Chain A
Amino acid sequence: MSTAILTRKPAATTPAPNRRPLRPARVVLHLFLAAVAIGWLFPILWAVLTSLRSYEYTASHGYVSLGGWTLDNYVTAWKTAEFGKHFLNSVYITVPAVLLTLFLASCVAFVIARFSWKLNIVLLGLFTAANLLPQQALLIPLFRLFTQVPLPEWMSDSELLYDSYWGLILVNVAFQCGFCVFVLSNYMKALPHELYEAAMVDGASVWRQYWQVTMPLCRPALAALATLEVTWIYNEFFWATVLMRTGDKFPVTSSLNNLRGEFFTDNNLVSAGSVLVAIPTLVIFFLLQKQFVRGLTLGASKG
């Protein structure tokens, strides 16, 4: 829906800097926005600050003080919570899940956008709505299903879909597909139809039309969605919490749950752990901010 919004650029971006003297109203506005912005950043900055100080120092001087700078919290947090392992688990889950989501969603979106069948709207509704259902409402049957489906040992040492990366990947893909189908089908519908006529004159099969005509043109939308999906699946907490059992196999975000017990009495460690977990998403955010924002506003459906 918001593709229309995005294509319309803000009216006349004035190239010349504004030379008018600052009116008092503007000053108030800037002061207000600056105060809010700093207030908004504060919890994150506070976490960074706390993580850089030793527990002994803050314990004796209180947290409202300065000093006791150290990097030890990071070293300890990394070792105690075995972040290395959990980050790797997150990679095992996030990378295949995002690739698979984008591939499957783009297939469905292509068919919906390219052909006009009566069922298209039902299909689009089925996918889009699936993304918005409360996960907990599906938990009971899925939990049972996952504990019943066997997997060969080389796929998972649990020999079940439950407590395996495969299960988590599948459930994430099933849930995230809807959002991507919705965004991509809108994007593809905006492509000129003449492209396909030309391709058909050349005798291109449907698969080639999808893979060599449509997909290259969808790169901007795919990039935006990939950025968003990496963040969401990395941040996914619920499914990993309920569909995994072995502590060693938890992805980072869900391993936070165990971390609470281990770091319970030491807020400096908690903050170092939090910063470590936040780093991948913050890096994505700063490097790919444009993609991230575009993805969110393209679909405008989820958080």
Chain B
Amino acid sequence: MRASRVLFDALRGSRVVYLAAIICVGLAALLSYAAPLMVRFAIDSVIGNEPVAGPTIIVDTIERIGGVENFRTNLWSVVLAIVTVTVVSGVFSFLQGRFAAGASESLAERLRNRLYDHMQNLSYDYHVHASTGDLVQRSTSDVETVRRFMAIQFVEVGRALFMVAAALPILFSVNARFALVSVGAIPVVFVFSLVFFRRIQRTFQMVDESDGRLSTVLQEGLTGVRVVRAFGRQRFEADRFDECSRLYRDLVYKLIRQMAAYWSISDLLCLAQIGVIVVYGTTLAVAGQITIGTLLLFVTAVTMLLFPIRQMGRILADMGRMSVALKRIGEILAVDVEQDDDTAVEPAIRGHVVFDNVSFAYAGREVLRDVSFEAPPGMTVALLGPTGSGKTTLVQLLSRLYDYDRGSIRVDGIELRTIRKRWMRRHVGFVLQEPFLFAKTIRENISLARSKSSETDVYRVAETAAVHDVIESFDRGYETPVGERGVTLSGGQKQRVAIARALLMKPPILIFDDSLSAVDTETDARIRKALSTARHGATTFIISHRLTTLAQADLILVLDEGRIVQSGTHETLLAETGMYSRLWNMQRKRHDEFEQELLAQGERT
């Protein structure tokens, strides 16, 4: 997605406010010259004896309200006018700040929400390969770059332009030659800033990289502290860190030295410009060509201009960052999200699953080939096969995490592809091998999909998943938060919480994708026993490495290289020659040998 498009979209809804901010900054900039002009009038014409200078309207107005004499006897009125214009200018500058903040914060909010929403709706496959760190970086610091630009930098550029636009006519109308000499440094300062900050980008980048490396070394040294200790590498680590830290220090110092050169040179330029105004203005004043008030006006006006101009150079040099940030955000938004056809249906799902010659290819490789089987509601289907045989893919198709290429999958007689994705997933309790727990309490984690569940329901599913006692053993029980600020659950405990979570959905289809791998055999058996009554007749798919787990299934599918090579019950499969009986017998044999061994020992003792 193009950078400008991202920005344009995100601005939708804030454009009017943003325009108001720009108008206010313009008015504030214009008005900021009113006070210096009034001071000049006060010094020259009220306190001094010069004729009133400026456009005829102003001169006439002053005459009409009693002339200079009136002001002279009543100096307060001039002061009141000065304070008033400052206040009015202040009001505009406040409004500008308020509007710019409102617009840019809303923009950032929209960008953040849009990114979050978009990322959540990207395909399952995208998230399998996604780099969390990178995505977070783009959604935080890149959004921040854009926000900062819109909130501060863009407005600052506007202010600088308005101020130049306001100052030049005023100064040139007062005295063109003096004005020309007075603003001579402005383009120089601007170009100097622009060139300097453009050139310094490289150093900035080096500092960033060095900072990143320092963090990596630190992070690794801290997380690997046991390794460091066991090998006695404290000195080595300290030296390694020291080297990075020193490099970082030197780079930052280099950057600061460059900044020192920049600030001293640009300050020198600015101060010299003021000096030129004072000296040249003095000679002009001595010659009677300008007044003291005019001199003061020039000093004040040019001082007011110099800083925004310097900033403008810096901002324009930084523009590159902004467009890079927008481009990086655009790259995420350009990835297509999951979508359903308009005709997608939401049928009642009871759990009758039919695979009919289903094939699926991924990254040019056939993962599933002509898979066919039927599972009526309530059946337990076990999937068995070596790594890469397609077991996980098969169940992922059922949850519409991937879409099959050929053949047909029917759920209760309806073609799966026509069923709305979310609708389907809501009816499939899918327990991943490595489930993710959120930084919420354990109760909230269990009731993620059914947030209004009653306490009894939560306890019941936790008991079924054999995790209730574990949870109760924590100080705060179900209210214990999970994560860095709470408890760290073991792999097996996480899996059990995830099972409880899936059960709470009471889905017509349940999938356990090797989701008891980190649970010991005894607990595994307990959970399976509890499940047989608690799954409410759900059609259940189990992937496991434990033969005893699989043996009890109503239907066992043996997969190899994407094909179903054998299917049947434990008994029928044992009767066939094939992978299943071979495996089973091999283990039987081992078990028998072990029994023999035991017996032999028994006899010996």
The answer to whether A and B assemble together is no
